[in-house]
Chains A and B, each alone.
Chain A
Amino acid sequence: MLFNSLDFAIFLPIVFLLYWFAVQKNLTLQNLLIVTASYIFYGWWDWRFLSLILFSTIIDFSVGKALGKTTKINKRKTLLWISIIVNLGFLGFFKYYNFFIENFIEAFTFFGSDIRISSLNIILPVGISFYTFQTLSYTIDIYRGKLEPTKDFIAFTAFVSFFPQLVAGPIERATLLLPQFYVKRKFDYNKAIDGMRQILWGLFKKVVIADNCALLANEVFNNSHDLNASTLFLGALFFTFQIYGDFSGYSDIAIGISRLFGFNLMKNFAFPYFSRDIAEFWRRWHISLSTWFRDYLYIPLGGSRGSLGSKVRNTFIIFIVSGFWHGANWTFVIWGLLNALYFLPLLLTKNNRNNIEIIGFDRSWPSFKEVLSMFLTFFMTVLAWIFFRAESVRHAMSYILGIFSETIIDKPIFSNMMSFYKAIGLLLIFIIIEWFGRRGEYAISEMKWAKTKTLRWVFYIFLILLLLVFAGKSQDFIYFQF
């Protein structure tokens, strides 16, 4: 079920009303309703893969329980490995099997051997990368002694399958989300209103920004061989905003819906395109995944401690794994590698934590130096996204070479120039709103300029009208494929 579909528009109010009116007095029933709603939500796409979620849930619940009963290191390690192997095994099979087989065959062919292994027609279960990491955080944290194993199977099932964030995150930590299922949720008017506002903003990002940019980005990436440099650059720029609007829009909707049900999810995006260096960008982009890798991969590897060699190694590992997490294609690996290369100079010169606060926190406008560093970081990000979007490494390379040519000053060519001007106009509105809202949880969370309720409502209706008037042709959420 898509957030921006009629099905969901009917589903959500029904679940909301049942949750707060029919089962609000009983915690177990509230959790059970969440589990039922989540399974319906997921099964709407493909009910067969519910068995995978259920299996992961049972395994991790059992492993967690067993971990709680034993203090023997070897047994604890074995139990942890069972959880890791089962979860990553499913992920590996569904997401990476064909990639490894094809590359295995290519490698043998390169060395003159002819081997025959068939690739399989595998459907990638939606959201498998997200819920796998979420359940893994549960067993790893119990193993580390940071979390008590739960005895409440329904609460745990609700934690694994919680529908607002099941298919595209934010990837929640068991330490943060699971305890919220142990206590009865009380309806909070302000929290619910804030949730509604964040849903509206998320829809705007997805339907207006991402879907309009998608049309132009798809046109350019699908015909990149025939286009001039300025059009190629703009195509990459549109994809840059498409992926941001798409993914952060989804996160905003997920967080907003969770608030309607009395839950707090972690912030997943914090105005990443206003970053002044790539380290700051990675603290602001897909925060739930970056911090997951930091806590469960980077720090166990030694993090930024140790020798220069180990620092460099750890940086490359985390970025390459992060790239590979996104998809079974060398383009994602190169994307990760490129980001590691961007990051490395900052790490080596100990400048990776220079920009912690949001840009111009106590000012309206950035300094000239900040503008320059922001533009440079943004430009580097745009180049990296080309690998993320391209069909192959060769495609990405020819695309980038195409940008660095003399036609960069030529007039851009789009089949529908009206769509181009429309997208540029919408992006300008979007950037202005994001800039003035950058100190909040999300761009319109505070709206300090709107002193009265009437002004705020006028603004919401304006957003709804923009949503309707400028709705782009509906596209799937990009991160569903991960």
Chain B
Amino acid sequence: MKKFITTVIVFGIISLITLYTLDYLVSTGLRKSKSDTYNTINKIVDGTLNADIIINGSSKALVQVSPKILDTILNQNSYNLGMDGNEFIPQLLQYELYKKYNPKPKLIIQIVGNDFLQKKEELIGYMRFAPYLKLNGVSAMTEQYKGFSFIDYHLPFYRYSGYFGLIMDGLLSNFGIHRQIDLKYKGYQEKDYIWDNSFDKFKASNPNGIQIKMNNSSKEKFNQYIESLVQDNIHIIMVYPPTYLPSQDLIRNKKEVINFYKAVAKNNNVLFLDYSSNFISNEKKYFYNSQHLNKNGAERFTKLLAEDIKSTDILNKK
């Protein structure tokens, strides 16, 4: 028995050393990766992002706000931190990381929306955080969601299990070989799509509309986030982007949602720009689905937003 236990322990130690080595190689590689998944977060943690204007939000930021247009009109350097499918809690973490490793931005454009303060069970695209689980605050956030399991946090390399493509990306990036390059411009992902039928399906399955449930803890954290930005002397503009008007009729408590944002803005004396009733919302040609603008719509909206920001002269205020 003694021999067996010794053998198992020695084999276990050798296996662990192998796994630690692999974990190190893959994690360091992914931190250098230029792929779509890692490019933005790597720039944040490297401290090379360094923008005057940060656009924070979910896919509603990612595909709808073009830094190129903002930069031209406002004569600033902006970057879009939009995270597809993610609500406020992961966005907050990403901003916290930004704040830690980069100089303070002049302005944050916080894109809000109906699902912004919901709390989903799953963290979409959670693997983007895999190489950074040891960073302060990252696992505290990811643990709130389904995604990484207990063993992912404690056994080296296990969190990459089954992600052959990611493992290859990680290993190759160590040698400067990048299988995939992020083609987004400063984080913005233009969607040159035509209207799909998802809204019709949604409408058919929810003829009486839906009720938006805003998570209390997320609401509280959002309030604290706005307060902290104000205290740090960072300008903030909350933006409710255009959504296809007929879809808004299906949100039974739309008023409650908008009023919440208005109240937060008022309490903290920050600007809230509501484009939900803007002419763009009424034009189907600007959308590829009820919640997202296509390339054409996004450009139109960003111009409008940039002009509005310019008219406030907020960037020249101290």
**Chain A residues close to B by CB (< 8 Å):** 6, 20, 187, 189, 192-193, 196, 418, 422, 457, 460-461, 464-465, 468-473
- In the complex, which residues 118-167 of chain B have their Cβ closer than 8 Å to any Cβ of chain A? 149-151, 157-158, 160-162, 164-165, 167
Find the B residue at minimum CB distance from A208: B162
What are 15 inter-chain pairs, A to B, with CB distance below 8 A?
A: A187-B1, A189-B3, A193-B7, A422-B164, A461-B15, A464-B18, A468-B157, A468-B160, A468-B161, A468-B162, A469-B160, A469-B161, A469-B162, A469-B167, A471-B161
Contact A193/B162 with A465-B18, A469-B167 known, Cβ cut-off 8 Å: no
> Residue B202 at the A interface, CB < 8 A?
no
> Residue B11 at the A interface, CB < 8 A?
yes
Chain B residues with CB below 8 A from A418, complex form: 165
Chain A residues with CB below 8 A from B11, complex form: 457, 460
> Residue B4 at the A interface, CB < 8 A?
yes
Complex CA distance for A460 and B8, rounded to whole angstroms:
12
Complex CA distance for A467 and B164, rounded to whole angstroms:
11
Apart from A422-B164, A469-B164, what 19 extra A-B contacts exist at CB < 8 Å? A6-B150, A6-B151, A187-B1, A187-B4, A189-B1, A196-B8, A418-B165, A457-B11, A461-B15, A468-B19, A468-B160, A469-B160, A469-B161, A469-B162, A470-B162, A470-B164, A471-B161, A472-B162, A473-B162
- Contact partner of A471 (CB less than 8 A), chosen from B15, B150, B162, is B162
Chain B residues with CB below 8 A from A469, complex form: 160-162, 164, 167
Complex CA distance for A469 and B14, rounded to whole angstroms:
18
Contact with A along B7-30 (1 / 0, CB 8 A): 110010011001100100000000
Q: Which 9 A-B pairs have the closest CB atoms?
A: A471-B162, A468-B161, A471-B161, A187-B1, A192-B4, A189-B4, A189-B3, A6-B151, A461-B18
Chain B residues with CB below 8 A from A460, complex form: 11
**Distance to closest chain A CB from B23 (angstroms):** 10
Find the A residue at minimum CB distance from B158: A468
Among A192, A461, A469, A470, the most chain B Cβ lie within 10 Å of the Cβ of A469
Complex CA distance for A259 and B292, rounded to whole angstroms:
59
Query: Is the Cβ of B149 less than 8 Å from the Cβ of A6?
Result: yes
**Distance to closest chain A CB from B22 (angstroms):** 7
Complex CA distance for A373 and B268, rounded to whole angstroms:
80
User: What interface size band does chain B fall in?
Assistant: 20 to 34
**Chain B residues close to A by CB (< 8 Å):** 1, 3-4, 7-8, 11, 14-15, 18-19, 22, 149-151, 157-158, 160-162, 164-165, 167
Chain A residues with CB below 8 A from B160, complex form: 468-469
**Distance to closest chain B CB from A258 (angstroms):** 16
Complex CA distance for A472 and B18, rounded to whole angstroms:
21
Find the A residue at minimum CB distance from B168: A469
The interface residues of chain A, by DSSP majority, are classed as helix
Chain B residues with CB below 8 A from A192, complex form: 4
**Distance to closest chain A CB from B3 (angstroms):** 5
**Distance to closest chain B CB from A191 (angstroms):** 10
Complex CA distance for A469 and B15, rounded to whole angstroms:
14
Find the A residue at minimum CB distance from B7: A193
Query: Is the Cβ of B1 less than 8 Å from the Cβ of A20?
Result: yes
Find the B residue at minimum CB distance from A212: B162
**Distance to closest chain B CB from A211 (angstroms):** 9
Find the A residue at minimum CB distance from B17: A461
**Distance to closest chain B CB from A453 (angstroms):** 10
Query: Is the Cβ of B14 less than 8 Å from the Cβ of A461?
Result: yes
Chain A residues with CB below 8 A from B158, complex form: 468
Chain A residues with CB below 8 A from B165, complex form: 418
Find the A residue at minimum CB distance from B18: A461
Chain B residues with CB below 8 A from A193, complex form: 4, 7
**Distance to closest chain B CB from A20 (angstroms):** 6
Find the A residue at minimum CB distance from B157: A468
Chain A residues with CB below 8 A from B3, complex form: 189
Chain B residues with CB below 8 A from A470, complex form: 162, 164
Contact A465/B22 with A20-B1, A187-B4 known, Cβ cut-off 8 Å: yes
**Distance to closest chain B CB from A102 (angstroms):** 30
Complex CA distance for A193 and B3, rounded to whole angstroms:
10
Query: Is the Cβ of A464 less than 8 Å from the Cβ of B15?
Result: yes
Chain A residues with CB below 8 A from B149, complex form: 6
**Distance to closest chain A CB from B73 (angstroms):** 41
Complex CA distance for A464 and B165, rounded to whole angstroms:
18
Complex CA distance for A422 and B168, rounded to whole angstroms:
13
Chain A residues with CB below 8 A from B1, complex form: 20, 187, 189
**Distance to closest chain B CB from A210 (angstroms):** 14
Chain B residues with CB below 8 A from A464, complex form: 15, 18
Chain A residues with CB below 8 A from B151, complex form: 6
**Distance to closest chain B CB from A400 (angstroms):** 32
Complex CA distance for A20 and B3, rounded to whole angstroms:
14
Complex CA distance for A471 and B3, rounded to whole angstroms:
31
Chain A residues with CB below 8 A from B18, complex form: 461, 464-465
Complex CA distance for A470 and B164, rounded to whole angstroms:
6
Find the A residue at minimum CB distance from B8: A196
Chain B residues with CB below 8 A from A189, complex form: 1, 3-4
Query: Is the Cβ of B14 less than 8 Å from the Cβ of A457?
Result: yes
Complex CA distance for A447 and B299, rounded to whole angstroms:
64
Chain B residues with CB below 8 A from A422, complex form: 164
Complex CA distance for A20 and B11, rounded to whole angstroms:
20
**Distance to closest chain A CB from B181 (angstroms):** 18
Complex CA distance for A465 and B149, rounded to whole angstroms:
19
Complex CA distance for A193 and B149, rounded to whole angstroms:
29
Complex CA distance for A473 and B18, rounded to whole angstroms:
23
Complex CA distance for A468 and B4, rounded to whole angstroms:
24
Complex CA distance for A192 and B158, rounded to whole angstroms:
26
**Distance to closest chain A CB from B30 (angstroms):** 14
**Distance to closest chain B CB from A426 (angstroms):** 10
Chain B residues with CB below 8 A from A20, complex form: 1
**Distance to closest chain B CB from A156 (angstroms):** 28
Find the A residue at minimum CB distance from B165: A418
**Distance to closest chain A CB from B150 (angstroms):** 7
**Distance to closest chain B CB from A14 (angstroms):** 14
Complex CA distance for A187 and B1, rounded to whole angstroms:
7
Chain B residues with CB below 8 A from A461, complex form: 14-15, 18
Chain A residues with CB below 8 A from B161, complex form: 468-469, 471
Complex CA distance for A352 and B182, rounded to whole angstroms:
61
